[in-house]
């Protein structure tokens, strides 16, 4: 488990992270999203003790990272796939890392096999492609068999098969009860991989919720409702409005509802005795929901292509 309490990091007058308070639970893949410059990497670095918070705390299983005598057995992390000695082979790099934390040498062969690098383990890491370096970085994160794992953009440089492999690996690690915290800019991949999302912008928390709830909160998420009873539909719409949702009559006997998931709409219709011909989600994508959430937090935006023609 990772616990952040009022976590703040300032560089002079600039606040990179501002008062983050949240808990990253075990047994889930938690996606960490935000625009460039939002503070994601700084947050991860503070969790690992690489940057000192200006205020607040970042704890792993109730302790500061620096307090662990064998940290790789507690936390595995991939922040920069190229952060290794380029003249060492993959096997030598992992052996040195294992010895520094009292990890048996046999574990090196296990993780090399897990990430698919056994056949090139003697090759110098500096000659690896970005995708191979990512696999080596993941191997290093898994080396101590830790209960907490953190990955910053782990699918960069991977081909489609590699991306799918990372997705399945993340989900399998969470299924074992581990805490899995993954930063990524690939919305489609996060939609497939993550159970929960933490979204930040300009260092502040914008959302912390299950993926489905974040999509459902998008103005583009709709629930289509059709019924032969127009009066019943009007009553349904009024009740939904009272609950904070929006319901628009788009045709006789048809509503488009936003701001709520499909299940509560169906349950309410049942309680009101409104027979339904159709109850179907018209889903937004995670990308659309994310763009809405972070619209005011993009610091390095460029004009839309239409604006420069």
**CA–CA separation, 300 vs 227, rounded Å?**
47
The fold of 2-215 is Rossmann fold (3.40.50)
The length of the chain in residues reads 309
Sheet with 14-24, edge to edge strand ranges: 14-24, 2-11, 55-60
Percent over 90 (pLDDT), the chain: 72
Torsion (CA) 166, 172, 177, 178 in degrees, nearest 10: -20
- The whole-number pLDDT of residue 276 equals 95
**CA–CA separation, 145 vs 135, rounded Å?**
16
Reported as type and span, the H/E element at residue 182 is strand 179-183
Q: What is the mean pLDDT of residues 103-109?
A: 95
Q: What is the mean pLDDT of the chain?
A: 91
Under 8 Å between Cβ of 210 and 30: no
Read off the pTM.
0.81
Nearest CA among 192, 173, 166 for reference residue 26? 173
Q: What is the pLDDT of residues 197-234, one digit of tens each?
A: 999 999 999 999 999 888 877 767 789 999 999 999 99
Domain ranges in the chain with CATH number 3.30.70.790: 222-282
Residue 249 has pLDDT above 50, yes or no: yes
Determine whether domain 222-282 maps to CATH 3.40.190.10: no
Domain ranges in the chain with CATH number 3.40.50.300: 2-215
Q: At 65, is the pLDDT very low, low, confident or very high (cuts 50, 70, 90)?
A: very high
Nearest CA among 132, 140, 172, 139 for reference residue 156? 132
Residue 292 has pLDDT above 90, yes or no: no
């Amino acid at each position: 488990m990772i616990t952040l309490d009022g976590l703040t990091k300032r560089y002079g007058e600039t606040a990179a992270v501002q008062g983050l308070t949240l808990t990253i639970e075990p047994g889930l893949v938690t996606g960490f999203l935000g625009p460039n410059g939002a503070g994601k990497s700084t947050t991860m670095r503070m969790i690992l003790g690489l940057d000192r918070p200006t205020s607040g705390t970042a704890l792993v299983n109730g302790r500061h990272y620096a307090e662990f005598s064998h940290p790789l057995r507690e936390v595995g992390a991939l922040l920069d796939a190229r952060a290794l000695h380029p003249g060492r082979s993959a096997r030598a790099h992992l052996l040195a890392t294992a010895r520094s934390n009292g990890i048996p040498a046999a574990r090196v062969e296990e993780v090399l096999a897990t990430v698919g690098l056994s056949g090139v383990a003697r090759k110098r890491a500096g000659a690896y492609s970005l995708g191979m370096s990512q696999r080596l970085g993941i191997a290093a994160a898994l080396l101590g068999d830790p209960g907490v794992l953190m990955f910053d953009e782990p699918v960069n440089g991977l081909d489609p098969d590699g991306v799918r492999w990372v997705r399945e690996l993340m989900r399998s690690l969470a299924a074992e009860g581990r805490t899995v915290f993954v930063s990524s800019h690939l919305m489609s991949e996060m939609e497939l991989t993550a159970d929960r999302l933490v979204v930040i912008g300009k260092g502040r928390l914008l959302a912390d919720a299950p993926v489905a709830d974040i999509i459902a909160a998008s103005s583009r998420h709709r629930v289509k409702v059709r019924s032969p009873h127009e009066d019943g539909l009007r009553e349904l719409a009024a009740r939904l409005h009272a609950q904070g949702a929006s319901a628009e009559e788009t045709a006789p006997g048809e509503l488009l509802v936003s701001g709520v998931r499909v299940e509560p709409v169906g349950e309410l219709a049942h309680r009101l005795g409104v027979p339904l011909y159709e109850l179907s989600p018209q889903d937004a994508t995670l990308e659309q929901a994310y763009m809405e959430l972070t619209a005011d937090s993009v610091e390095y935006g460029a004009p839309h292509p239409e604006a420069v023609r």
